[in-house]
């Protein structure tokens, strides 16, 4: 008589000879099924959720030696991240991007009088409570770059 293993209505026949050579195959198969079920979506979705308010500092090569403060409000839905930025220099922007692993790739579209946009790569650390990265912006003052570090509140 053959041993049968059923996975999601799919019948898999395991010959007796194979069962004799590998008697623990049914336990291994069960363990594999349970481990895969515990993985949720198989690791394809984001593991970190960055929804929340982040406050911190940033610099710009257009103003060497000056440090600005900013508030970034983020909302994450799956791998999509959107948000708004407000700074103590009067800049404001909408953000749109995507998260993959511990990194967000995004674009800021400035909504203030200077207009323009910035592209950024954000590294996420400390279980999603710390954001840091660099950006390149073009607006009414020209093209410049900078860096930032923000902490979740």
Contact residues for 101 (Cβ-Cβ < 8 A; gap 6+): 46, 47
Domain that residue 34 falls in: 3-38
pLDDT of residue 134: 97
pTM higher than the cut 0.75: no
Given a cut of 60, is residue 49 above it in pLDDT?
yes
Left, alpha or beta for 16 (phi > 0: left; psi -120 to 50: alpha)?
alpha
Specify whether 22 is located in the same domain as 74: no
pLDDT of residue 38: 44
Specify whether 80 is located in the same domain as 140: yes
Domain count, the chain: 2
């Amino acid at each position: 008589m053959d041993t049968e293993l059923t996975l999601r209505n799919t019948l898999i026949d395991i010959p007796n000879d194979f069962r004799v050579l590998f008697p623990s195959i049914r336990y291994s198969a069960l363990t594999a099924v349970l481990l895969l079920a515990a993985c949720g979506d198989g690791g394809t979705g984001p593991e970190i959720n960055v929804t929340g308010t982040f406050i911190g500092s940033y610099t710009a090569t257009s103003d060497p030696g000056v440090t600005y403060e900013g508030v970034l409000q983020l909302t994450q839905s799956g791998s999509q991240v959107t948000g708004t930025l407000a700074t103590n220099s009067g800049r404001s922007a909408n953000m749109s991007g995507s998260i993959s692993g511990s990194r967000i790739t995004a674009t800021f579209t400035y909504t203030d009088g200077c207009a323009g946009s910035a592209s950024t790569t954000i590294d996420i650390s400390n279980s999603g409570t710390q954001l840091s990265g660099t950006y390149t912006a073009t607006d009414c003052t020209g093209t410049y770059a900078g860096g930032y570090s923000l902490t979740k509140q």
